[in-house]
């Protein structure tokens, strides 16, 4: 008698540490399609083990963006399910129990090495041109002694006792067998001194307990996989099938990143890309239909999806192509009435207009003036000639550097409201000895393209972080490209 096949269960495990990334949507789409095609379940797990960088706002934004795209999950922190909780920060006791099992079975050990000692070891290894990694100091010590130190208040972590000989082998669905010498695998930390697990431990324990059958994730995690396989072996568990999708790349083959291009799903929504265009575009990144069609719905994608048709050739996240596709969607997939509705819901929504009107009404006499005065609230690019972005008495090179810092500061600013923008910009002036008016005018020009606008901080708040960021980055690019 043959047993029934295990039902497919896949997951994404985004870390809520910033804006919802287009890469998360790409991996989510492939997981979703695989689950739906095979009558399985698609799970959303929030991997918030980095206490300092995780935030509820970011978690909410990830969920909103995935919903906007139409990728819904069968189990997750908000919808529940039989394998919860689905937020790792709510599973700390589980990880503690499992890591204790590993210590008891001799597969893991406590370590009290300080950051200073680890830095020393690394320095020495680099000087001797040896591979860097933990040198096993506490692995060789008596655990009773190490535990006594921890009891008396020294912070301690738990590390995996990686075998010193042999190889670790696993199969990647797209790449075949991958073999790594165990000497190349570090004694990784599994459990931190703050009582939180590391990504490796939490990921493996959760995939096991949540019954994950296929791990479909980005190829940046391939180097972590041998560590995971060793962990599965230490627990005596079978590991899921690994499937590492190729990374999204810029046209110059570098990894997509916010330094070069917009990558936040919120940007694409605000800038007027249609959710079905974006999904279609992401589907094209590593998959091709047998009949080579380029335009398809999510249902078509699911129907035709096969892991065998995923190709590894570096997919290019080409914004020009996305734009072209969006145009086709507008013309071919939307009626005029739908476009009117879309504009009313998005660009000219009551909510957005209600934020703009109080800012601009002081300066206008008749309704037409709104268009001339407030156009930058609706425009795409607001580039002006780049010398406008220069700061008085500051060299161009230094100006560019300062804008880089400023953009980073604004990207991290939460909430992005007038009060916080005000204090961030003023603090920036103080920190870099700039006169506020020397900074505020070029910033105003970057985000609005105009010299005369409503108050800067309120204006930036209404424009929102994504628009400000994108406009400032384009201005910066123009400034860099400016002939000297
Ligand atoms: N937390 C990881 C991430 O942010 C999950 C990687 C995985 O899927 O194993 O993408």
Residues of the chain above pLDDT 70, percent: 99
Check whether residue 404 and residue 315 sit in a common domain. no
- Ligand 1 center to 54 CA (angstroms): 13
User: What mean pLDDT comes out for the span 363-379?
Assistant: 93
pLDDT tens, residue by residue, 124-154: 999 999 889 999 999 999 999 999 999 999 9
Ligand 1 atom at shortest distance from the alpha carbon of 17: 4
Q: How far is the CA of 15 from the centre of ligand 1 (A)?
A: 7
Asked whether residue 255 falls in the same domain as residue 275, the answer is yes
- DSSP 8-state code for residue 384: -
Average pLDDT on 65-72 reads 97
> Which of the listed residues 11, 14, 214 should we mutate to test ligand 1's pocket, taking the one with most ligand atoms within 8 A of CB?
14
**Do 107 and 13 lie in a common domain?**
no
446: in domain: yes
Distances (CA, A) of 377 to 26, 132, 341, 346, 415: 29, 51, 19, 12, 20
How many CA within 13 A on the CB side of residue 334?
20
Distance, in Å, from the CA atom of 197 to the CA atom of 69, rounded to the nearest integer, reads 31
Residue 270 lies in a domain: yes
Distance from the alpha carbon of residue 418 to the mean position of ligand 1, in angstroms: 34
Predicted confidence band at 1 (pLDDT cuts at 50, 70, 90)? low
The CATH number assigned to the domain holding 173 equals: 3.90.800.10
Report the CATH number that the domain containing residue 27 is assigned in CATH.
Answer: 3.40.50.620
Q: How far apart are CA 436 and CA 426, in angstroms?
A: 7
Same domain, 476 and 448: yes
Counting from 1 in the atom list of ligand 1, the atom nearest the Cα of 27 is 8
Nearest atom (ligand 1) to Cα of 24:
10
3-state SS track over 69-134: HCCCCCEECCCECCCCCCEHHHCHHHHHHHHHHHHHCCCEEEECCCHHHHHHHHHHHHHCCCCCCC
- In a domain? residue 365: no
Mean pLDDT of 14-30: 95
In a domain, 238, yes or no: no
Q: What is the mean pLDDT of the chain?
A: 95
Say if residue 317 is in the same domain as residue 386: no
Q: Which atom of ligand 1 is nearest to the CA of 13?
A: 5
Q: Are residues 186 and 99 in the same domain?
A: yes
Please state the domain count of the chain. 3
306 is catalytic: no
Q: Which atom of ligand 1 is nearest to the CA of 217?
A: 8
- What is the share, in percent, of the chain residues with pLDDT greater than 90? 89
- Does residue 341 fall inside a structural domain? no
Q: Whose CA is nearest to atom 10 of ligand 1?
A: 14
Residue 379 has pLDDT above 70, yes or no: yes
In a domain, 177, yes or no: yes
CB atoms within 10 A of CB 139: 18
**Cα radius of gyration (the chain):** 26
Q: Are residues 60 and 127 in the same domain?
A: no
Angle at 59 between CA 53 and CA 62, to 5 degrees: 120
Ligand 1 centroid – CA 13 distance (Å): 5
Cα(369) to centroid(ligand 1), Å: 49
Q: How far is the CA of 261 from the centre of ligand 1 (A)?
A: 22
CA dist., res. 376 & res. 97, Å (int)? 56
**Claim to verify: residue 23 and residue 101 sit in the same structural domain:** no
Mutual orientation of helices 350-360 and 456-481 as an angle, nearest 10°? 90
Q: Residue 19 — pLDDT band, cuts 50, 70, 90?
A: confident
| Nearest CA owner, ligand 1 atom 3 | 14
* Residue 123 lies in domain: 91-199
**Residue range 159-193, pLDDT digits in tens:** 999 999 999 999 999 999 999 999 999 999 999 99
**What is the predicted pLDDT for the residue at 2?**
59
Question: Residue 23 Cα, ligand 1 centroid: separation in angstroms?
Answer: 11
For a mutational test of ligand 1's pocket, the pick from 13, 49, 208, i.e. the residue with the most ligand atoms closer than 8 A to its C-beta, is 13
Q: Tell me which residue of 357, 385, 386, 389 sits closest to 373, measured CA to CA.
A: 357
Residue 288 falls within a domain, yes or no? Answer: yes
Do 267 and 178 fall into the same domain?
no
Question: Where does ligand 1 bind, in terms of residues with CB under 6 Å?
Answer: 13-15, 47, 199, 203, 217, 221
Burial code (b: 16+ CB inside 10 Å, e: under 16) for 317-327 equals bbbeebeebbe
203 Cα nearest atom in ligand 1: 9
Task: Please tell me the distance between residue 194's alpha carbon and the centre of ligand 1 in angstroms.
Answer: 21
User: What whole-number distance in Å separates Cα of residue 245 and Cα of residue 232?
Assistant: 22
* pLDDT tens per residue, range 229-279: 999 999 999 999 999 999 999 888 888 877 777 899 999 998 899 999 999
Q: Are residues 164 and 71 in the same domain?
A: no
**Band of the pLDDT at 355, cuts 50, 70, 90?**
very high
| Residue where a domain stops, chosen among 169, 199, 229 | 199
The answer on 437 and 409 residing in a single domain is yes
Element (H, E) at 302: helix 298-304
Mutate to test the pocket of ligand 1, among 10, 12, 34, 58 (most ligand atoms within 8 A of CB): 12
CA–centroid distance, residue 66 to ligand 1 (Å):
16
Residue 104 has pLDDT above 80, yes or no: yes
- Of the candidates 258, 260, 361, 392, the residue annotated as catalytic is 258
Tokens 């204790």: give the residue: 100
Q: Identify the domain boundary among 286, 301, 327.
A: 327
pLDDT digit string, tens, across residues 403-445: 999 999 998 898 899 999 999 999 999 999 999 999 999 999 9
- Listed residues 258, 293, 327: the one ending a domain: 327
In a domain, 269, yes or no: yes
Cβ pair 276, 329 in contact under 8 A: yes
Between CA 49 and CA 16 the distance in angstroms is: 10
Task: Identify the CATH number of the domain in which residue 469 sits.
Answer: 1.10.10.350
Together in a domain, 195 and 96: yes
Closest atom of ligand 1 to CA, residue 15: 4
Would you call 189 helix, strand, or coil by DSSP?
Answer: strand
Q: pTM for the whole thing?
A: 0.91
Task: Identify which of 196, 199, 205, 228 to mutate to test ligand 1's pocket (most ligand atoms within 8 A of the CB).
Answer: 199
- The residue whose CB lies within 8 Å of the most ligand 1 atoms, and thus the one to mutate among 18, 47, 62, 201, is 47
Q: Distance of CA 129 to CAs 125, 126, 355, Å?
A: 6, 5, 59
Which run of H or E residues covers position 58?
A: helix 56-69
């Amino acid at each position: 008698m043959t047993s029934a096949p295990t039902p497919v269960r896949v997951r994404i495990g985004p870390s809520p540490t910033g804006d919802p990334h287009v890469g998360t949507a790409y991996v989510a789409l492939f997981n979703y399609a695989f689950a739906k095609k095979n009558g399985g379940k698609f799970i959303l797990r929030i991997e918030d083990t980095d206490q300092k960088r995780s935030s509820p706002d970011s978690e909410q934004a990830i969920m909103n963006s995935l919903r906007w795209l139409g990728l819904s999950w069968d189990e997750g922190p908000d919808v529940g399910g039989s394998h919860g909780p689905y937020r790792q920060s709510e599973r700390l006791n589980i990880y503690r129990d499992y890591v204790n099992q590993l210590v008891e079975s001799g597969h893991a050990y406590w370590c009290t090495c300080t950051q200073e000692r680890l830095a020393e070891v690394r320095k020495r290894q680099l000087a001797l041109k040896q591979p860097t990694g933990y040198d096993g100091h506490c692995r060789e010590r008596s655990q009773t002694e190490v535990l006594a130190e921890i009891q008396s208040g020294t912070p301690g972590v738990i590390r995996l006792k990686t075998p010193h000989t042999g190889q670790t082998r696993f199969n990647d669905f797209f790449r075949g067998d991958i073999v790594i010498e165990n000497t190349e695998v570090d004694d990784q930390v599994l459990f931190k001194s703050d009582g939180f697990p590391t990504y490796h431990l939490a990921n493996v324990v959760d995939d096991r307990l949540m019954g994950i059958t296929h791990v479909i994730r980005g190829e940046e995690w391939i180097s972590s996989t041998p560590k995971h396989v060793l962990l599965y072996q230490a627990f005596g568990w079978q590991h899921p099938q690994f499937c590492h999708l190729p990374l999204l790349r810029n046209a110059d083959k570098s990894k997509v990143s916010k330094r070069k291009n917009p990558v936040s799903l919120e940007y694409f929504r605000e800038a007027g890309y249609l959710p079905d265009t974006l999904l279609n575009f992401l589907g094209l990144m590593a998959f091709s239909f047998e009949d080579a069609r380029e335009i398809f719905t999510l249902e078509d994608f699911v129907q035709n999806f096969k892991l065998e048709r995923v190709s590894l050739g570096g997919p290019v996240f080409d914004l020009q192509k996305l734009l072209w596709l969006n145009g086709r969607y507008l013309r071919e997939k939307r009626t005029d009435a739908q476009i009117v509705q879309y504009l009313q819901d998005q660009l000219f929504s009551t909510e957005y207009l209600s934020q703009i009107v109080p800012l601009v009404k002081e300066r206008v006499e008749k309704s037409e003036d709104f268009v001339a005065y407030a156009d930058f609230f609706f425009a795409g690019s607001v580039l002006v000639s780049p010398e406008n972005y220069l700061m008085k008495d500051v060299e161009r090179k230094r100006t560019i550097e300062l804008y880089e810092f400023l953009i980073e500061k604004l990207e991290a600013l939460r909430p992005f409201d007038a009060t916080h923008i005000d204090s961030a910009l003023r603090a920036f002036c103080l920190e870099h000895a700039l006169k506020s008016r020397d900074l505020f005018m070029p910033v105003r020009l970057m985000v609005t393209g105009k010299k005369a606008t409503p108050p800067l901080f309120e204006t930036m708040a209404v424009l929102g972080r994504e628009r400000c960021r994108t406009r400032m980055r384009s201005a910066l690019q123009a400034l860099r490209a400016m002939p000297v």
